[in-house]
Amino acid sequence: MTPKRFVVLGGTGFIGSHLLAALARDGHRITVLSRNREQKRAINVLPNVRTISTDVYDRASLEKHIAGHDAVINLVGILNETGGTTFTHAHVNLTATLIAACRQAGVRRIHLMSSLNAGNRASKYLKTRGEAEAQVRNSGMDWTIYRPSVVYGNDDSFVFRFLKLLRMGPVLPLAQPHAKFQPAHVGDVAGAIRRCLGDRASIGKIHELYGPDTLELVAIVRMIRDAAGLRRMVLPLPGALGHLQAIAAELIPGKPFSRDNFHSLGVDSVGSRNGFADLGITPRRFAAMLPVVLGSHARAHRLDIARLTQDA
């Protein structure tokens, strides 16, 4: 693909950091818009990547920085409402502002990260994801939407959240244990976006991105436990107790779990059309990749400790 200029919102996040590395290798020039350019310093050393600190919710700022680019990639998303940021603000309002800015700046191509089950009214997260999709589909722009199941990989907020919880005590009570997922590796998700960026056939398409394995949450957590070599009991909770756990977790700083998360888990994250197959990608299997993901994290942790020791 001929090198192009892309703007990425949410580039300092988990999927964004992996996508930027892939696009930088392809020679594209990328502008990352972020409220905190220091959040992921590693992306600032990537070739052809420029990070600008700005308020991505400000239309005038978006217009200024989007102008002259070939496409915009919106990866912004939140799993919980914290610090005054709501699902409506992060998903719906931002999308509306971005579309208006693109029109004013003359940028027609937009890529939107969404989620499987977007539009389901079971939770505010899913509902607002659907509302954002509807805005993009009705925008008159050249759009592509990505709907992944849960995405895992190095430094994710899924595998490593449960790993942290497993290390906290001998028993891990688990809400919504029978929720189903088809975990997708972050490298495969980034690869799907990368292919669509250079393929006009992807315009007007919604790609469901999910892995080849359908797993219940309790099975996933036990796989993480076993791969990490931990001796812990994973205790499935009935619905009422799981809901109480969500209420209690909302009071913990950082809100590791919420009632909205609980309701989202009540809808299986399972796809019906294989977007990876449509794009010619063979997705990686969770069981095969889990030891690799945990091993990479452990090696990085040892290197960090070694550096700190040397600096001391």
Residue 92 above 90 pLDDT? yes
pLDDT tens sequence across 26-68? 999 999 999 865 555 678 789 999 999 999 999 999 999 999 9
Assess whether 38 and 79 both reside in one domain. yes
| Res. 306 pLDDT band, cuts 50 70 90 | very low
161 & 255 share domain: no
User: pTM for the full model?
Assistant: 0.93
Task: Indicate whether 291 belongs to any domain.
Answer: no
The proportion of the chain whose per-residue pLDDT surpasses 90, expressed as a percent, equals: 87
Q: Residue 189: name the closest of 290, 276, 112, 130 by CA.
A: 276
Note whether residue 32 is domain-resident: yes
Same domain (yes/no): 197, 249: no
Clarify whether residues 109 and 240 are in a common domain. Answer: no
> Does 229 lie in the same domain as 105?
no
Q: Looking at the domain assignment, is residue 75 inside a domain?
A: yes
The single-letter code of the amino acid at 100 is: A
The answer on 246 and 129 residing in a single domain is no
Residues 170 and 261 in one domain: no
Q: Looking at residue 97, which CATH number applies to its domain?
A: 3.40.50.720
Residue 51, domain member (yes or no)? yes
pLDDT at 301 over 70: no
Domain presence at residue 9: yes
* Domain membership flag for residue 290: no
In a domain, 297, yes or no: no
Number of structural domains, the chain? Answer: 2
Residue 221 lies in domain: 215-265
pLDDT at 298 over 80: no
Whether 299 is in a domain gets the answer: no
Can you state the angle between helices 94-105 and 124-137, rounded to 10 degrees? Answer: 20
The 3-state secondary structure of the chain reads CCCCEEEEECCCCHHHHHHHHHHHHCCCEEEEEECCCCCCHHHHHCCCEEEEECCCCCHHHHHHHHCCCCEEEECCCCCCCECCECHHHHHHHHHHHHHHHHHHHCCCEEEEECCCCCCCCCCHHHHHHHHHHHHHHCCCCEEEEEEECCEECCCCCCHHHHHHHHCCCCEEEECCCCCEECCEEHHHHHHHHHHHHCCHHHCCEEEEECCCCCEEHHHHHHHHHHHCCCCCEEEECCHHHHHHHHHHHCCCCCCCCCHHHHHHHCCCECCCCCHHHHCCCCCCCHHHHHHHHHHHHHHHHHHHHHHHHHHC
Amino acid in the structure at residue 159: V
Shared-domain flag, residues 118 and 245: no
Same domain, 236 and 153: no
| Together in a domain, 188 and 243 | no
| Paired residues of 34 in beta bridges | 53
* Same domain, residue pair 280 and 190: yes
- Which two tokens mark 64? 């200024």
In this predicted model, what pLDDT tens digit does every residue of 188-246 receive, in sequence order?
A: 999 999 999 989 999 999 999 999 999 999 999 999 999 999 999 999 999 999 999 99
Contacts of 295 (CB under 8 A, 6+ apart): none
Strand partners, 235: 173
Both structure tokens of 184: 């997708």
Structure tokens given for 255: 């809100």
Q: What is the mean pLDDT of residues 79-90?
A: 93
- Mark whether 54 and 31 lie in a shared domain: yes
**Could you tell me the pLDDT band of residue 253, with boundaries at 50, 70 and 90?**
confident
Instruction: Point out the least confidently predicted range of 12-16, 257-261, 307-311.
Output: 307-311
What is the Cα–Cα distance from 12 to 37, expressed in whole angstroms? 8
